[in-house]
Amino acid sequence: MIVSLVGLPGSGKTTVGRQLARRLQLPFQDSDQVIEVRIGIPIRTYFEQHGEAPFRDLEEQVIAELVAGPSCVLSTGGGVVLRTNNRHALHRSGPVVYLKSNPDELYRRLRHDQSRPLLQVADPLGKMRDLFAVRDPLYRETAHFVMETGRPSVATLVNMIVMQLELAGTPAK
């Protein structure tokens, strides 16, 4: 079983994913970390040197490999849903959880983070709002469950996800 997490940059996919993996006693995979290991440089550097399209090609290849692999909790990059193949592969591979975050809250959380290439622009809050407008429908299309990340702690979010998996009849440990 692959349990995938999708959402905007900074929505908690990696943090929640690690805790969820521990709770479900599954390995944790982060597609961005897999990509960075493969290319040997930070994604931001790759973006700057090669552009977004080659990155998305590589991301699509990595997603296909990860969803075909052994059971795990999979944290994905924020833009993974931009490719139809990724949306379908994730949706078919097991439960997908959309960690839905308010763009204004994400901006407050990420405004000093230099590692996120898409936010290195003159108006990062406007960019975050634009990303939300484009990606929210794609996250919803991909996901089996939508979890609001506004108030709950990480532990509470993990509990809510586990309850949703159990209610859906997905074997959660």
To the question of whether residue 11 is assigned a binding role by annotation, the answer is: yes
To the question of whether residue 92 is assigned a binding role by annotation, the answer is: no
To the question of whether residue 13 is assigned a binding role by annotation, the answer is: yes
To the question of whether residue 109 is assigned a binding role by annotation, the answer is: no
To the question of whether residue 77 is assigned a binding role by annotation, the answer is: no
Which residues sit opposite 3 in a β-bridge? 73
To the question of whether residue 78 is assigned a binding role by annotation, the answer is: yes
Contact 88, 130 (CB under 8 A): no
Task: Calculate ∠ Cα 98-102-108, nearest 5°.
Answer: 125
Contact 7, 152 (CB under 8 A): no
Give the helix/strand (H/E) hosting 29: strand 28-30
**23, 45, 9: which is closest to 172 by C-alpha?**
23
To the question of whether residue 12 is assigned a binding role by annotation, the answer is: yes
Contact 117, 47 (CB under 8 A): yes
How far is it, in rounded angstroms, from Cα 1 to Cα 14?
Answer: 18
To the question of whether residue 69 is assigned a binding role by annotation, the answer is: no
To the question of whether residue 126 is assigned a binding role by annotation, the answer is: no
To the question of whether residue 10 is assigned a binding role by annotation, the answer is: yes
Annotated binding site: 10-15, 32, 56, 78, 116, 135
Binding-site positions for Mg(2+): 14
Annotated binding site for ATP: 10-15, 116
Binding-site sequence positions for substrate:
32, 56, 78, 135
